[in-house]
Structure 1
Amino acid sequence: MSIKLVAVDIDGTLLNHKREITPEVYSAVQEAKKAGVKIVIATGRPIAGVAPLLEELKLQDKEDYVITFNGALVQDTATGEDLVKEVLSYNDYLNIELLSRKLGLHMHAITKEGIYTANRNIGKYTIHEASLVNMPVYYRTPEEMVNKEIVKIMMVDEPELLDAAIAKLPSELYEHYTVVKSRPFYLEIMNKKASKGTAVTHLAEKLGLHPEETMAIGDEENDRTMLEAVGNPVVMENGIPQLKKIAKYITKSNDESGVAYAIREWVLD
Structure 2
Amino acid sequence: MSIKLVAVDIDGTLLNSQHQITPDVKQAIQEAKEAGVKIVIATGRPISGVHHILEELQLNQAGDFVITFNGSLVQDAHTGEDFVKNTLSYQDYLDLVHLSNTLSLPMHASTKEGLFTANRNIGKYTVYESTLVNAPIFYRTPEEMTDKEIIKVMMVDEPERLDKALETIPAAFFDRFTIAKSAPFYLEFTPKQANKGLAIIALAQKLGLTMDQTMAIGDQENDRPMLEVVGHPVVMENGSDSVKAIAKTITKSNDEHGVAHAIREWVLN
Q: TM-score scaled to structure 2, two decimals?
A: 0.99
Where does the alignment leave 5 or more consecutive residues of structure 2 unmatched? none
Match of 2:29 in 1: 29
Match of 1:215 in 2: 215
The offset of 1:79, in angstroms, is 0.3
Which residue identity does 2:120 align to in structure 1?
A: R
The offset of 1:167, in angstroms, is 1.4
Detail structure 1 runs of 4+ shifted over 6 Å in the superposition: none
Q: Within 5 Å, which residues of 2 pair with 1:61-100?
A: 61-100=61-100
Q: Within 5 Å, which residues of 2 pair with 1:181-220?
A: 181-220=181-220
The RMSD of aligned alpha carbons is: 0.8
Match of 2:154 in 1: 154
1:145 and 2:111 aligned: no
Which residue identity does 2:182 align to in structure 1?
A: S
Match of 1:4 in 2: 4
Question: How many angstroms apart in 2 are the aligned matches of 1:12 and 1:157?
Answer: 19
Match of 1:180 in 2: 180
1:63 partner SS:
coil
Question: How many angstroms apart in 2 are the aligned matches of 1:106 and 1:83?
Answer: 31
Which residue identity does 2:71 align to in structure 1?
A: G
Where does the alignment leave 5 or more consecutive residues of structure 1 unmatched? none
> Can you list the C-alpha shifts for 1:105-145, whole angstroms capped at 9, x where unaligned?
10000100010000001111100000000000000000000
1:217 partner SS:
strand
Which residue identity does 2:52 align to in structure 1?
A: P
Which residue identity does 1:49 align to in structure 2?
A: G
Identity among equivalent pairs (%): 66
Match of 1:133 in 2: 133
1:122 and 2:127 aligned: no
The offset of 1:182, in angstroms, is 1.0
The offset of 1:250, in angstroms, is 1.0
Q: TM-score scaled to structure 1, two decimals?
A: 0.99
The offset of 1:247, in angstroms, is 1.1
The offset of 1:168, in angstroms, is 1.1
Question: How many angstroms apart in 2 are the aligned matches of 1:165 and 1:223?
Answer: 21
Which residue identity does 2:194 align to in structure 1?
A: A
